[in-house]
Amino acid sequence: MLAGNISDRSLKYNMENTEKEAMATNPKTHLDAETDYDLVRLFCRLASTQSPSLFEANVARYIKEELRRIGVKTYSDKSSKYTKSNTGNIVAVVGKGKPVLLFVAHMDTVEDGKKQIKPIIKRGVIKSDGSTIVGSDDKSGITAMVGALSRLKGRKDIPRSIFVFSTAEESGDNGMGISYLKLKEAVDFAFSVDGSDKPGTFIKKALGFGEFNIKIRGRAAHAASKPEKGANAIKAAGIIIAKLNIGKFKNGSSLSIAKISGGGTTSAVVPDGAELNGVVRGFNVSDMRGIRKHIMRVVSQACIVTGCKYKISFSEKNSAVPFDKPDEKIVALAKLATESAGLRFNLKDLYSPSEVNALYGMGYNALGMCRGGRNAHSVKEYVEVKEIYETAKLLTYIITMARNIR
Ligand SMILES: [Zn+2]
């Protein structure tokens, strides 16, 4: 059962339970102190609306409805033509003038949508019933963005701020919905509102990764009477594995071999075929290039020694970034807003793919912005109510303080 088929009845049941639970805890703590807007109710509604990658339409519809209620116009872009999702990215634009800000949170989750997600609130923490994720990745990001829009409602003094609710982040790699976003204006500062860490923690770059495949072609010969006439592909594969620097390097990049296969037609012949599959990960383009060169060198030498032929193919799944340090101005803005909001500023790298690299790929100055939550992609996932409100607050500070950065 996919997202479109979740029964309304089960959703109603969930919402009633969730609301009752929220009321029983402490109704006051669940309302935005500034607007009386209930972000917890919104989060739970979004979480119980299943949205596996490429089936984000139900969540998209709900976000559009909610923003219409607040008085914010939205449109759906044309990215579904390329991603094949059942919706485009949802875009809302508020404010006027420079600098132009972009905020992105993804609508899809890792679950396949077969099991209904039932958010439960207990002592200020939202989690699932233990059989599914709760979808804080990235529905707490979406909730905080809607919360920020509700706080900024009617303000005429804020710079142009583009809010994008994107598709296919979890499945897409380089095909993420955000990669197909077309904007008319140049963006000065872009934030991917995603990342399971305390609000105030920003991600300066995420790990890029690419897969590779090595095909080794040897020569069959009788293994007992004329082995010297053969070229042993398994021996070449063995040398390659022994010589490759498999593991993690000091700069955070890594090389792994994930699969090996091969052999000859019978045990009587020298094996003439072998294949290796692996992954290269790295934080920037030159680190990844360095590892690729190392692989080519090792494979070529092993094949010279054994008399085999080879073919290597690399495919990039999530682009690495072309630099070592992010733009100083966006870091200054993140720090100023975080400290003004009374939170602790922290800057780190992320060891998994993220939309932040896609934003760099689009030519923007970008940072990932953590939105709370822990244990993403697992049934132990949870998010603190406090973190959702802190993220919403931080977003409003980034927007209202952006003009202080020159
Ligand atoms: Zn995410």
Among the listed residues 377, 342, 337, the one whose alpha carbon sits nearest the alpha carbon of residue 101: 337
CA distance 138 to 164: 13
Cβ-based burial of 219 (10 A; exposed 0-12, middle 13-18, buried ≥19): middle
Residue 320 has a pLDDT of: 82
Q: How far is the CA of 290 from the centre of ligand 1 (A)?
A: 28
Sign for the CA dihedral angle at 27, 28, 29, 30 comes to positive
Residue 50 has a pLDDT of: 93
CA distance 104 to 351: 19
Q: How far is the CA of 299 from the centre of ligand 1 (A)?
A: 36
Q: How far is the CA of 296 from the centre of ligand 1 (A)?
A: 33
CA distance 21 to 341: 29
First to last CA, the chain: 51
Q: How far is the CA of 220 from the centre of ligand 1 (A)?
A: 49
Residue with tokens 């109704």: 27
Q: How far is the CA of 103 from the centre of ligand 1 (A)?
A: 13
For domain 208-318, the CATH class is alpha beta
Left, alpha or beta for 247 (phi > 0: left; psi -120 to 50: alpha)?
left
Residue 21 has a pLDDT of: 45
* pTM, full prediction: 0.84
CA distance 259 to 237: 11
Q: How far is the CA of 164 from the centre of ligand 1 (A)?
A: 14
> Which CA distances in Å does 380 have to 135, 179, 193, 225?
11, 30, 21, 60
CA distance 262 to 217: 10
Q: How far is the CA of 170 from the centre of ligand 1 (A)?
A: 7
Parallel, antiparallel or unpaired: strands 366-369 and 273-282: unpaired
Among the listed residues 215, 151, 144, the one whose alpha carbon sits nearest the alpha carbon of residue 373: 144
Q: How far is the CA of 188 from the centre of ligand 1 (A)?
A: 23
The full length of the chain comes to 406
Which amino acid, 150? S
Q: How far is the CA of 196 from the centre of ligand 1 (A)?
A: 8
Q: How far is the CA of 376 from the centre of ligand 1 (A)?
A: 8
Mean pLDDT in consecutive groups of 10 residues from the start of the chain, 406 residues: 36 44 47 75 94 96 96 96 96 96 97 86 90 95 96 92 96 83 94 96 90 97 94 97 96 95 92 97 91 97 98 88 84 97 94 86 92 94 94 96 92
Q: Which two tokens stand for residue 321?
A: 């970034």
Q: Which two tokens stand for residue 263?
A: 């052999």
Q: How far is the CA of 325 from the centre of ligand 1 (A)?
A: 22
The CATH-assigned architecture of domain 3-207+321-404 is: 3-Layer(aba) Sandwich (3.40)
Residue 119 has a pLDDT of: 92
Q: How far is the CA of 171 from the centre of ligand 1 (A)?
A: 11
> Which CA distances in Å does 370 have to 184, 355, 387?
27, 12, 10
Q: How far is the CA of 169 from the centre of ligand 1 (A)?
A: 7
Residue 31 has a pLDDT of: 66
Q: How far is the CA of 104 from the centre of ligand 1 (A)?
A: 10
What are the residue boundaries of the structural domains of the chain, listed by start?
A: 3-207+321-404, 208-318
Q: How far is the CA of 106 from the centre of ligand 1 (A)?
A: 7
Q: How far is the CA of 174 from the centre of ligand 1 (A)?
A: 14
Q: How far is the CA of 137 from the centre of ligand 1 (A)?
A: 5
Q: How far is the CA of 365 from the centre of ligand 1 (A)?
A: 19
Among the listed residues 273, 268, 266, 263, the one whose alpha carbon sits nearest the alpha carbon of residue 227: 268
